[in-house]
Structure 1
């Protein structure tokens, strides 16, 4: 495993250098573009009879369980790092808006994407059962906090717009994972649970994750408050994240939501009341480095994964349908409510365009798709997910700054 880690870290460092030195894109987008280009060159060389590089890349990727690496390893660290710098007092001011988008919006989007994809694919050779289309809806509907927060930093959006879209992305992936698990159990058992059973599962997973996050967050806060030594305090935060995520998996509650809650507690009460200035500086620096390094590695992996995507007749058409359906669902479940209820959401005019176009998908969607059991439906879903994610990061990510500048009429919410 050490040699695999060494190869990917070295490759990521080289690609990050090339992006910074010659291209100048945001770090996550830049390394992904270069990795994607390398994979396409490798595929091209293979078509010309030089298959050594493709064989090496495929063997390397097959030794990495992308789904397990992200969902059981990197995700906890990235979510905590993302939540650590969210101002809880500002988040509280938009709690209802974020809650509606993260819970109701994600559930509605899952349904819209599933139904429209089912209808759209029925006109292609890659038609899928409705349950699998809904599975795709569940894994593609949550916006990826890793992608969103990394790219929004350079987009120049007003603070309240950035806060709402970042808050939504931090919480809706937990809801999406629960919906995905529920629909996956339907696929396995063939039995559709009743409303009460589904609601109970959602409450246990999501509610349990929030409660666990509160408990671990408070315990961590008390430990940090009782000492003043940045070495031990950084170690305590790291242990809270890794140990807390492992405990959440054991208890079958939402680890992502637990990490977000812990991050909010430590990033607000912990930083303000339990840390000295020296400790705050070291904690911030440590988690900022973790965030940047893991983000870069993650997007390099996404760029390389194209080489293991199965090709099939009609896949390009199906991918375009999936991209269109995903964008339409985002408009209907996020953009339209914000546009019609602008004064309730208290966001600037034009913010609905930013939240629609800024709903980026990333590694979480790919990881969930790769976790599906082997079969022809899985291959189609993985390919469609990958196409939507690449479009989201490359096209939406590179143009979100222009959308912000052309859409936002004022930087303060209407009164």
Structure 2
């Protein structure tokens, strides 16, 4: 099947599911789309068990889509830039140190807890998985996904400070999680990695990504300041995203962090000082449409990826899936709680935020993409099933019930 045909099918499915959600389900768009595509996947698997081999062709079509490459080297750049574009810089600056600690220390704490406890649990249940795979799972599942979090956050009335904290953490913690994951992946290959190598890789990815993103944002600001043509200015932002992300990957720095910083600068000082009112309105409409379109396709694809991931389900896979969901939630709760203790010492703690920050830690396509990038051997299938279970639970259950938790906490506050 040709690439254009696949794009056409996915877009049509996303539009159809969107219509059903709009008229019947009335769920947040990402949740409604993923729920429907997940139901379709389950129905196809049931039909296959009943002797109707319709799931096979769909699985073959999905096999032509390199999900991790599609997301990590394509969609992610647009989605992160669009997400950062609509975040208010002033609110992020108010909680900048909170965001920095949650995005770095929080990911490391969560990775350690998930990896260590999962290894112990797998030994207890006699699951065939090596310790390194447990920590790889911890690294890929610890970062919260801005693509999943931001659209849902915007629909709920949480405090301005807490909204900035959760959004900022989700935007910035991907870089740390990806670096930790890649470092552990290097160990899996048998290569010798020293502590200095880890520090250098972390510094190069994070500091380099932040600096390169600042350069991109500044260039975009300077260019757009001398132009008053909204079509051309939109084209300039597209060039920043596509060309900038490609250059960041080539330079070995974090393209994800670069897109976040570039989006913040274009959406902050760039919007305020370099754009006319007409440009602001059209730029916002364009990037809002890009975000909605790509999110729709992405979450439809995530639901359908169940067919590609769940090729076999035995007792070991089910145990890994059911162990991982409460473990990831507990690790999130502990990492958020321990950092809150630290922040309380500096007086920057957002009141009553622990339950909301724990429950809003949604996982999404980035975790699945990293799991799919694992070598096609060993315990990969166990990690994939566990990752998919956590992502599905976080989006469908946590995402759909977050508004009730917010209402309860804000009512109590």
- Same-fold status (TM-score > 0.5): yes
> What CA distance in whole angstroms lies between the structure 2 residues aligned with 1:257 and 1:224?
22
Contact 1:342 1:349 survives alignment (8 Å): no
Q: Which moved more, 1:371-380 or 1:272-281?
A: 371-380
Q: Taking structure 1 as the reference length, what is the TM-score of the superposition?
A: 0.96
> What CA distance in whole angstroms lies between the structure 2 residues aligned with 1:84 and 1:25?
24
**Unaligned runs of at least 5 residues, structure 1:** none
> What CA distance in whole angstroms lies between the structure 2 residues aligned with 1:343 and 1:151?
31
How far did residue 195 of structure 1 move?
Answer: 2.4
Q: Which residue of 2 aligns with 1:268?
A: 268
How far did residue 376 of structure 1 move?
Answer: 3.0
Q: Which residue of 2 aligns with 1:138?
A: 139
Number of aligned residue pairs: give it.
409
Report 1:282-293 matches (<5 A).
Answer: 282-293=282-293
Q: Which residue of 2 aligns with 1:12?
A: 14
1:277-328 superposed Cα distances (whole Å, 9 cap, x missing partner)? 0000010000000001111111111111111223232222211111111111
How far did residue 339 of structure 1 move?
Answer: 5.9
Report 1:179-190 matches (<5 A).
Answer: 179-190=180-191
Q: Which moved more, 1:54-63 or 1:234-243?
A: 54-63
> What CA distance in whole angstroms lies between the structure 2 residues aligned with 1:159 and 1:23?
29
Q: Which residue of 1 aligns with 2:335?
A: 333
> What CA distance in whole angstroms lies between the structure 1 residues aligned with 2:341 and 2:202?
29
Q: Which residue of 2 aligns with 1:224?
A: 224
How far did residue 32 of structure 1 move?
Answer: 0.4
Contact 1:225 1:275 survives alignment (8 Å): yes
Contact 1:160 1:347 survives alignment (8 Å): no
The correspondence for 2:326, drawn from 324, 327, 346, is 324
Contact 2:106 2:336 survives alignment (8 Å): yes
1:201-247 superposed Cα distances (whole Å, 9 cap, x missing partner)? 10011111111111111111100001100000000001100111100
Q: 2:390 aligns to what SS in structure 1?
A: helix
Q: 1:115 aligns to what SS in structure 2?
A: helix
Does the alignment pair 1:356 with 2:367?
no
How far did residue 174 of structure 1 move?
Answer: 0.9
Contact 1:78 1:146 survives alignment (8 Å): yes
Report 1:65-76 matches (<5 A).
Answer: 65-76=66-77
How far did residue 196 of structure 1 move?
Answer: 2.1
Contact 2:106 2:339 survives alignment (8 Å): no
Contact 2:205 2:252 survives alignment (8 Å): yes
> What CA distance in whole angstroms lies between the structure 2 residues aligned with 1:345 and 1:109?
23
Shift of the 68–20 alpha-carbon distance from structure 1 to 2, 3 Å rule, reads: same
> What CA distance in whole angstroms lies between the structure 2 residues aligned with 1:9 and 1:348?
40
Contact 1:161 1:347 survives alignment (8 Å): no
Q: Which residue of 1 aligns with 2:52?
A: 50
Report 1:74-93 matches (<5 A).
Answer: 74-93=75-94
> What CA distance in whole angstroms lies between the structure 2 residues aligned with 1:44 and 1:409?
43
Contact 1:335 1:355 survives alignment (8 Å): no
> What CA distance in whole angstroms lies between the structure 2 residues aligned with 1:348 and 1:236?
38
Contact 2:103 2:169 survives alignment (8 Å): yes
RMSD, aligned CA: 1.4
Contact 2:98 2:343 survives alignment (8 Å): no
Q: Taking structure 2 as the reference length, what is the TM-score of the superposition?
A: 0.96
Does the alignment pair 1:64 with 2:54?
no
Q: Which residue of 2 aligns with 1:204?
A: 204
Shift of the 301–345 alpha-carbon distance from structure 1 to 2, 3 Å rule, reads: farther
Q: Which residue of 2 aligns with 1:40?
A: 42
